[in-house]
Chains A and B, each alone.
Chain A
Amino acid sequence: MTKGWKLYDQRLAWVLVAPVLLLLTLLLLLPIAMMTVYTFFTFVTAGVESAVLTFDNWKEFLTDSYYHGFLWKTVRVGAITAVICAILGYFPAYFIWATTFKHKWLLLLLLIVPFWISFTIRTFSWIHILGEQGLINVVLIRLGVINEPLPMLYTEGAVIMGLLHFLLPYMILNVYVSLEGIDRTLIAAARSMGCTSAQAFREVTLPLSIPGLGAGLLLCFVLAAGSYVTPQLLGGSRDALFGNLIYDTIMGQLNWPMGATLSIVLFVLLGAAAAAYSRYMGLSQIMKGLSA
């Protein structure tokens, strides 16, 4: 044979990929297309819309600062959450990477343990910690530190807290993976040339782990900004995020055209961030190749 060989037979590849392609088309691409068409429908009254095409929904979204406020708030909460995740997550990742503890897999398993409990239940648990009758307030009142319970639940802080709880493992895993890709002889080389361990961290470890940190930031941002359950359970009415706004528009006001418009807005926004994310992951692969 002089034609060379391939890892797979192309016809077989199509057969194997077909079910997933079909599912993605039917359950993802088609609904998104339908939603996109819906954004141009006319809202008549609650639960009723007509197929008369119009730009009214887009005009309303682009001109009404009510929506802009929600969008800004969503981006802000997502960004704050991602940054706090990065700050809190880097150290555990670094520790797991650097430890000489023999059973690293156990530490990594501990990161994944929270995922064994339903996300909703984990979110509910914060009510018992932050609530008026929650752990913190009861303890502080018993100790006589405060007289009145502190308002902690149903605030933006509680929402961010819940999101951190949910997203921190993603950050730690992302950073850990990129640290794991660093050749340790690079650090030995830096040390031998006169770096203290802190300087070697700044010169070698940190810059080479930036791709993982960047990937973690984007992932946390996208997941936080797209969250619905956490602000619903832990936030007050003023702490709703864009996802809650969409829910309210569609399920409360029964305004499907406007709800579809808002959905597409969030979809495009987070999709753009995810595109940046995958591009960044691509770059991190190159970086890994460099350090190998």
Chain B
Amino acid sequence: MHDDNSHDQPRPASAGADRDPLARGESQPTGKPAVEFRDIDIFYGKFAAVRDFSLAIRKGSFVTLLGPSGCGKTTILRSIAGLVDITSGQISIGGKRVDDIPIYKRNIGLVFQNYALFPHKNVFDNVAFGLKYRNVPKPEIVRRVKKALDMVRLPGSETKLPSQLSGGQQQRIALARAIVFEPEVLLLDEPLSALDANMREDMRVEIKKIQRETGITAIFVTHDQEEALSMSDRIVVMNAGLIEQIGSPAQVYDQPATAFVANFLGKANMLPGSVTAMDGNMATIALASGHVVKAAAPKALTAGSAITVVVRPQKLTVGTAGAANRLSGRIVSTSYLGGNAVYEIDIGAGTPLRANTLIDGQPLREGETVDVCFDPLGCVLLDAQGVRIA
């Protein structure tokens, strides 16, 4: 057992509200959560892969563990399945503690990144596998396999070998195999990352659809923010074994709890500066770049305190006169994306600003001098520790 005081990495104090397992957005219905983690620590020798992980997942919801590789998201997923032993804490599935229940009795559906279909068994035997070990009678197996294959839109593929299927098809079979025995939780370990871009988007929609139709509780692991934002009811952002923020996609995107979340999701612009004055709930901030901007502050800030203004690239307007907070700069690079364009604009600070705007007429050219504006209400303030001021 490790000592709680031994944490060498203090977690941001005021982010606590966002870490609350059932924090916001969802009211907890009556009954036990489908999956509950309490104070999970997972150590590999002396290395802490996961620390202080607490989370309750509502039945039927789609929860994503999002973070860079090595953040502990896959370790958590594997701990539910029983593929990784937890060092301390409790995991419950449907209100039952499972820490000591061996993997094969946990009733969990697992979808792996590399599909993990049995190469020596045909599609039918692959999908029927879980049912066979649940003593389901043969005619019932045939019926349910057929239903599962219909659901993943591969009817009639029973006699094919996995090697005869494309990557996307293999992943559908893997999905059918995982849901056919109606597990209590469906665990998806980066199931889309081995697929090519087009296939990935189709599968995203499909997985979400199947999850909704079956009403199964799903835990999805990914490092892809787009996948997380588009599929999840709730996102758990993890970094270095710790939870950074738990919230709905809109919450983690619009109100990042920490500098890490702001950066990891959508590469926000981080403008360091210090508070010079407070006027009601509006703070005046002198940026390190020399500009003075105004930003709505959820509480009174003391003048002189260090602060970071976080602005999403989409919240920056380029070239149009208007709103307050006008920063002038020069376009360093233009990425044309069809309907919109991403500009990098040098405003005299260290890193250029990124602005993602709809193109009105012609995209702006590199070297042009432009004004960049943002709404004082369209930004988030982080304190000196990189934690959102709430």
Contact surface of A with B, Cβ cutoff 8 Å: 183, 185-186, 188-196, 199, 203-204, 207-208, 287, 289-291
Contact = CB atoms under 8 A, between A and B. Distances in A.
B130 interface: yes
A183 B110 contact: no
Nearest to A210: B120
10 smallest A-B Cβ distances: which pairs? A194-B133, A290-B119, A193-B130, A189-B116, A185-B116, A192-B110, A291-B119, A191-B103, A290-B163, A194-B104
Given A191-B103, A192-B103, A208 B119 contact: yes
B260 interface: no
B329 interface: no
B116 A183 contact: yes
A196 B120 contact: no
A98 to B, nearest CB: 15
B46 interface: no
Given A208-B120, A290-B163, A195 B133 contact: yes
B114 interface: yes
Interface string B100-132: 000111101110101010111000000001100
A194 B114 contact: no
B67 interface: no
A188 B110 contact: yes
Interface residues of B, number: 25
A225 to B, nearest CB: 30
B108 A192 contact: yes
B116 A186 contact: yes
A190 B110 contact: no
A185 B113 CA distance: 10
A188 B112 CA distance: 10
Nearest to B180: A193
Contacts of B161: 290
Interface string B61-90: 000000000000000000001110000000
B124 to A, nearest CB: 14
Interface of B: 81-83, 103-106, 108-110, 112, 114, 116, 118-120, 129-130, 133-134, 161-163, 177, 181
Contacts of A185: 112, 114, 116
Contact of B119 (A190, A196, A287): A287
A199 B112 contact: no
A31 B338 CA distance: 74
A194 B119 contact: no
Contact of B112 (A189, A196, A204, A289): A189
A207 B103 contact: no
Contacts of A207: 120
A32 to B, nearest CB: 39
User: What is the predominant secondary structure among interface residues of chain A facing chain B?
Assistant: helix
Nearest to B135: A194
A191 B116 contact: no
Contacts of B82: 191-192
Contacts of B110: 188-189, 192-193
A291 B82 CA distance: 23
Given A193-B130, A193-B181, A188 B116 contact: yes
Given A188-B83, A290-B162, A193 B116 contact: no
A188 B114 CA distance: 12
A194 B108 CA distance: 9
Interface centre among A190, A191, A193, A196 (most CB of B within 10 A): A193
A159 to B, nearest CB: 37
Given A185-B114, A193-B177, A194-B134, A287 B129 contact: no
A289 to B, nearest CB: 8
A183 B108 CA distance: 20
A204 B83 contact: no
A193 B133 contact: yes
B163 to A, nearest CB: 5
Contacts of B112: 185, 188-189
B129 to A, nearest CB: 5
A65 to B, nearest CB: 44
Contacts of A186: 116, 118-119
Contacts of A204: 118
B129 A192 contact: no
Contacts of A189: 110, 112, 116, 118
Contacts of A203: 118, 129
22 contacts: A186-B118, A188-B112, A189-B110, A189-B112, A189-B116, A189-B118, A191-B103, A191-B104, A192-B104, A192-B106, A192-B109, A192-B110, A193-B104, A193-B129, A194-B134, A196-B104, A203-B129, A287-B119, A289-B163, A290-B119, A290-B161, A290-B162
Nearest to A189: B116
A186 B174 CA distance: 11
